[in-house]
Amino acid sequence: MGEVDRPFDVLLLDFGGVCLLNPVELHDHAERTLGLPSGSFGWLGPIDPSTDELWREMVAGEGLTERDYWATRAVEVGRLAGLAFETRDYMELLYVPPRSELIRPGAVRAVEAARAAGMGVSVLTNDLAAFHGPSWQHGIDFFALLDEVVDCSDTGVLKPDPRAYARACEVVGADPGRILFIDDLPRNVEGAEAAGLVGHWFDISRAEAAWADVVERLTPSSH
């Protein structure tokens, strides 16, 4: 048998949108819970950027951060229901209680593929505690599959700041060039690549196919 060539040492994942369903994929849940008509929320963010000028501005880096985007949307959602919402209120509406169906099946398969190839698997996220609170993750079984969770919420140094990637490399104990980093925001992928990691953009509009693309990159070759 030939020697197995492991393409990377670590699979490093963004969490929200990549592993966790994006809020726009939970519009139906929000509308039902708030007693609003179906179709009340017409903006579809990464699923269909043509419907969402605010999302396009954020992705283009026109002075709007991802946290700004969701804060604005939270206010809009609350206003339609006659409620005063901030980001955490909106996230609680969508993601509490924590439950397994919030995690993409492809994310679990990719983690299994990475493990089978002998890689470590960790998360580098900007907003886990900021959006969901400090204990929410304990109700999500997916986190038990991971080696480390690097949550930039605790420092405020967020992707694409190079310090966020340097911290992740230190925590997971791997050279940047041996880490495959997955994120749904192009600027975060570009930031990772500038920091020496191997970046891979995750297209939420074709999420399960996007996970299949990731698994293909993880498949070791024998020679």
The pair of three-digit structure tokens given for residue 141, joined into one six-digit string: 């079984």
Catalogue the E-assigned strands of the chain. Answer: 4-5, 10-13, 120-125, 148-151, 179-183, 198-201, 221-222
DSSP string across 46-109: GGBGGG-HHHHHHHTTSS--HHHHHHHHHHHHHHHTT----HHHHHHHHH-S--GGGB-HHHHH
Beta bridge partners of 123: 13, 149
Residue range 32-87, pLDDT digits in tens: 999 999 999 999 999 999 999 999 999 998 889 999 999 999 999 999 999 999 99
Own/partner contacts of 93-100, CB < 8 Å, gap of 24 or more, are 93/30, 93/33, 93/34, 94/23, 94/26, 94/29, 94/30, 95/20, 95/132, 95/136, 96/136, 97/139, 98/136, 98/137, 98/138, 98/139, 98/140, 99/139, 99/140, 100/140, 100/141, 100/142
| Residue 1 binned pLDDT confidence (cut-offs 50, 70, 90) | very low
96-145 residue pLDDT tens: 999 999 999 999 999 999 999 999 999 999 999 999 999 999 999 999 99
Number of H helices, E strands in the chain: 9, 7
For residue 120, list its beta bridge partners: 10
- State both tokens at 194: 């500038």
Model pLDDT, residue 221: 64
**In this structure, what token pair is assigned to residue 61?**
């880096």
Q: What is the pLDDT of residues 132-181, one digit of tens each?
A: 999 999 999 999 999 999 999 999 999 999 999 999 999 999 999 999 99
Angle, in degrees to the nearest 10, between helices 162-172 and 186-194:
70
Q: What is the 3-state secondary structure (H, E, C) of 75-91?
A: HHHHHHCCCCCCHHHHH
